[in-house]
């Protein structure tokens, strides 16, 4: 079993599990006292603890503190630079012994933590609706953004429920139920789609037909068989000086890959088309018939393209019927031919939907309540409306919005207990898919199979092979690595634009996905000898013979580029807008990869690295300025660990482009930096 697959099993096991203690060996304890007590004592109390107040024979009372000690040792943060250190081999042995002892403590004193009431965030809500009803929805239009804790928006303690949010869930349930069932009484609405900001439209966009440039592709749910009005927006330069490329290019409109309209240049960009109900892919783009070089103008080199700014979609107009959609087929597993069959068919539909939506068996009294909502709708209009009412009630129920877990009736306060099959299935699906369990997982949960290691592994293998496991990339990887922050970063480099930003992020996502799909070691994230690039990113990296917008796998020949620390995405989000940041890069590695975030700086030690040099003096390199900063012993306690990591990445500029020199000076990215060799005063052990 690979490292990644084993890690996933361990995580899932911890979700449900119980985990015996071995004292820290006398030799290791003496090492800690010898090298740590100078700061961690009852006088200085650095870090909030004194080593002589801890009990090496019983780690359980201070397990969290010991865990922090183990991480600091592993990351090389303790003892701090400037202090006397034992040999690296001794530090490794102490850390390994401490980790082993802590694992056994966890087995003897299992503490899975208290279960908080866990609300679905809006991404999980959209995925749940998609998997339950085969209905893609834009959660951003239905629900407000969720709060985050430690960079993640699926932490239960941050997912509060306000009255306004509750109303949003009710409104969303009503809207989704009408879309899924089909409502002939739907009024026309206008939906606006906008092309991604900052992305070049002078070249082909991945996912759109070859031979086109610019434009956008969207997934839209058409509520009824009806006519819909498309209004396409052009955008581009209008300064009457620079030439405009593409003014003669026709606009192609396609639905599900089939061209439905071709709008010649100069023609009105509003059209009305019949479209069948259901989810369809809409593509709007220019046919690429004109190149910039063809513009016969003195300023041709500065020519700018006319773009598809987006389009507006209005409808349904002149509806013809509810249509035969995937959502209706998913809902109506039966359909009554006679009035006498309606109640029985409705109960079958309601039971099936509620079981999937609420992720487990549904009590009979809850089914009867849902049948009451069905009857209201059926009496008001017809059978379909009754099902729509019941569906809206299912989607607005706390059992859908929240992830409830049933405690054993005999449980005592502070006791641990094993999760039930359905609770474990729900945790597993929200972890791997960010969505609800499918019917196969619910069946395995009901049969008790998830408590057997082999059966559990089989389910994990199946789920990781499913496309829904892309959620691990879109949600977990994006948030863990901070990739979502790229959208808010605006480097001053003229080489940076929206197209490059999207390519940067896509590269890192594809690498993570390949490690997941190919069952590789998680260590490949740091040392992969391959990556994924399109033409724009390949040009940024200096990789030859890569053309077009399609991403392809390529070998990494520069050892410094291997793994995510050579990815422009990570290097850009850990830089300042106008320069690299040794501190940001080092801190990102410590926090995101090693799990040992450095302490916040004490007051009064801030330094302005962008301050101009004194008159008559040569500008110092960033490395020299950081070394000057570390002459303060208090600063060196942390920066002696942070800075070497960031300095090792100094050959990459603020947007991840390789450089051998900056500001006329050769880049020195060696990591010794004199810190370990310079005789420095020991750091001040400040009380905190």
Q: What is the pLDDT of residue 48?
A: 78
Quick: pLDDT tens for 146-190: 888 888 889 888 888 889 999 999 999 999 999 999 999 889 999
Q: Does an H or E element contain 661, and which?
A: strand 661-662
Q: What is the pLDDT of residue 246?
A: 53
Residue spans of alpha helices (H) in 381-491: 383-396, 398-401, 421-432, 439-446, 453-465, 471, 478-481
Q: Does an H or E element contain 216, and which?
A: strand 212-222
Q: Which of 54-75 are b and which e, b meaning 16 or more Cβ less than 10 Å from the residue's Cβ?
A: bebeebeeebeebbbbbbbbbb
**Closest by alpha carbon to 144, among 153, 155, 157, 152?**
153
Q: Does an H or E element contain 245, and which?
A: strand 244-245
**Closest by alpha carbon to 79, among 35, 38, 132?**
35
Q: What is the pLDDT of residue 438?
A: 96
Distance of alpha carbon 284 from alpha carbon 253, whole angstroms? 5
Strand 225-235 versus strand 244-245 pairing type: unpaired
Quick: pLDDT tens for 313-353: 999 999 999 999 999 999 999 999 999 999 999 999 999 99
**Closest by alpha carbon to 295, among 338, 340, 247?**
247
**Closest by alpha carbon to 639, among 648, 629, 650, 654?**
629
Q: Which long-range contacts (CB under 8 A, 24 or more apart) does 552-561 make?
A: 553/514, 554/530, 555/529, 555/530, 556/528, 556/529, 556/530, 556/531, 558/658, 560/651, 560/658, 561/531, 561/658
Quick: pLDDT tens for 427-471: 999 999 999 999 999 999 999 999 999 999 999 999 999 999 999
Strands (E), 605-658: none
Name beta bridge partners: 228: 273
**Closest by alpha carbon to 70, among 44, 92, 47?**
92
Strand 307-321 versus strand 189-194 pairing type: antiparallel
Structure token pair of residue 100: 């082993």
* Residues in the chain with pLDDT values less than 50: 1-22, 238-245, 292-303, 673-688
Q: Helix count (H) and strand count (E) of the chain? A: 24, 16
Number of other residues whose CB lies within 10 A of the CB of residue 240 = 6
Q: How many residues are recorded in the chain?
A: 688
Strands (E), 269-415: 270-275, 278-287, 304-305, 307-321, 402-403
pTM of the predicted protein model: 0.84
DSSP 589: I
Start-to-end C-alpha separation, the chain = 45
Domains defined for the chain, CATH in brackets: 19-108 (no CATH), 189-321 (2.60.120), 470-566 (no CATH), 574-688 (no CATH)
Distance of alpha carbon 111 from alpha carbon 17, whole angstroms? 9
**Closest by alpha carbon to 118, among 155, 149, 143?**
155
Q: What is the pLDDT of residue 126?
A: 96
Strands (E), 24-117: none
Distance of alpha carbon 80 from alpha carbon 686, whole angstroms? 13
Distance of alpha carbon 659 from alpha carbon 663, whole angstroms? 11
Torsion from C-alpha of 650, 656, 661, 667, nearest 10 degrees: 10
């Amino acid at each position: 079993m690979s490292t990644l697959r084993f890690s996933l099993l361990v995580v899932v096991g911890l979700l449900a599990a119980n985990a015996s203690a071995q004292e820290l060996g006398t030799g290791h304890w003496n090492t800690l006292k010898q090298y740590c007590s100078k700061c961690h004592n009852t006088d200085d109390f650095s870090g909030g603890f004194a080593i002589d107040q801890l009990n090496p024979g019983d780690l359980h009372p201070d397990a969290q503190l010991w865990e922090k000690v183990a991480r600091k040792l592993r990351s090389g943060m303790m003892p701090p630079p400037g202090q006397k250190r034992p040999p690296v081999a001794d530090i490794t042995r102490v850390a390994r012994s401490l980790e082993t002892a802590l694992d056994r403590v966890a087995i003897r004193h299992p503490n899975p933590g208290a279960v908080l009431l866990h609300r679905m965030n809006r991404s999980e809500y959209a995925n749940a609706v998609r998997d339950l009803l085969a209905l893609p929805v834009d959660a951003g239009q239905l629900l407000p953004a969720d709060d985050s804790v430690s960079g993640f928006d699926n932490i239960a303690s941050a997912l509060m429920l306000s009255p306004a949010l509750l109303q949003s869930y009710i409104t969303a349930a009503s809207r989704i139920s009408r879309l899924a069932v089909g409502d002939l009484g739907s009024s026309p609405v206008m939906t606006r789609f906008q092309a991604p900001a900052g992305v070049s439209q002078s070249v082909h966009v991945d996912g759109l037909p070859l031979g086109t440039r610019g434009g956008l592709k969207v997934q839209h749910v058409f509520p009824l068989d009806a006519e819909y009005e498309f209004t396409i927006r052009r955008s581009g330069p209008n300064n009457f000086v620079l030439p405009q490329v593409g003014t003669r290019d026709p606009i192609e409109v396609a639905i599900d890959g089939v061209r439905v309209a071709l709008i010649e240049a100069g023609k009105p960009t509003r059209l009305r088309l019949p479209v069948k109900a259901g989810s369809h892919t809409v593509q709007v783009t220019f046919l690429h018939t004109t190149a910039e070089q063809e513009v016969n103008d003195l300023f041709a080199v500065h020519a700018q393209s006319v773009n598809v700014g987006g389009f507006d979609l209005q409808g349904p107009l002149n509806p013809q019927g509810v249509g035969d959609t995937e959502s209706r087929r998913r809902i109506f597993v039966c359909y009554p031919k006679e009035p006498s069959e309606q109640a029985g068919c409705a109960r079958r539909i309601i039971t099936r939907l509620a079981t999937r939506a609420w992720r487990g068996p549904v009590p009979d009294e809850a089914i009867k309540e849902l049948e009451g909502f069905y009857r209201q709708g059926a009496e008001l209009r017809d059978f379909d409306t009754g099902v729509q009412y019941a569906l809206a009630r299912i989607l607005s129920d706390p059992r859908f919005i929240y992830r409830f877990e049933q405690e054993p009736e005999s449980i005592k306060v502070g006791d641990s207990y094993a999760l039930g099959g359905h609770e474990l299935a729900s945790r597993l699906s929200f972890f791997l898919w960010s969505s609800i369990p499918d019917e196969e997982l619910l069946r395995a949960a009901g049969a008790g199979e998830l408590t057997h290691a082999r059966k559990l592994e089989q389910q994990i293998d199946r789920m990781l092979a499913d496309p829904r496991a892309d959620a691990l990339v879109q949600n977990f990887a994006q948030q863990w690595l901070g990739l979502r922050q790229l959208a808010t970063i605006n480097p001053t480099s003229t080489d940076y634009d929206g197209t490059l930003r999207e390519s940067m992020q896509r590269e890192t996502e594809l690498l993570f996905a390949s490690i997941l799909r190919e069952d590789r070691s998680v260590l490949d994230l740091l040392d992969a000898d391959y990556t994924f690039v399109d033409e724009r990113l390949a040009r940024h990296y200096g990789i030859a013979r890569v053309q077009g917008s399609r991403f392809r796998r390529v070998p990494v020949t520069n050892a410094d580029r291997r793994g995510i620390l050579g990815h422009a995405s990570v290097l850009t989000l850990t830089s300042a807008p106008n320069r690299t940041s040794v501190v940001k890069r080092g801190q990102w590695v410590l926090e995101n990869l090693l799990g040992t975030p450095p302490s916040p700086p004490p007051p009064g030690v801030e330094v302005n690295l962008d301050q101009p040099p004194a008159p008559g003096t040569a500008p110092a390199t960033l490395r020299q300025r950081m070394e000057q900063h570390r002459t303060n012993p208090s600063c060196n306690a942390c920066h002696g660990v942070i800075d070497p990591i960031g300095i090792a990445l100094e050959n990459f500029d603020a947007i991840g482009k390789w450089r051998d020199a900056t500001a006329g000076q050769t880049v020195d990215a060696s990591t010794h930096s004199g810190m370990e060799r310079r005789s420095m005063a020991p750091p001040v052990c400040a009380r905190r």
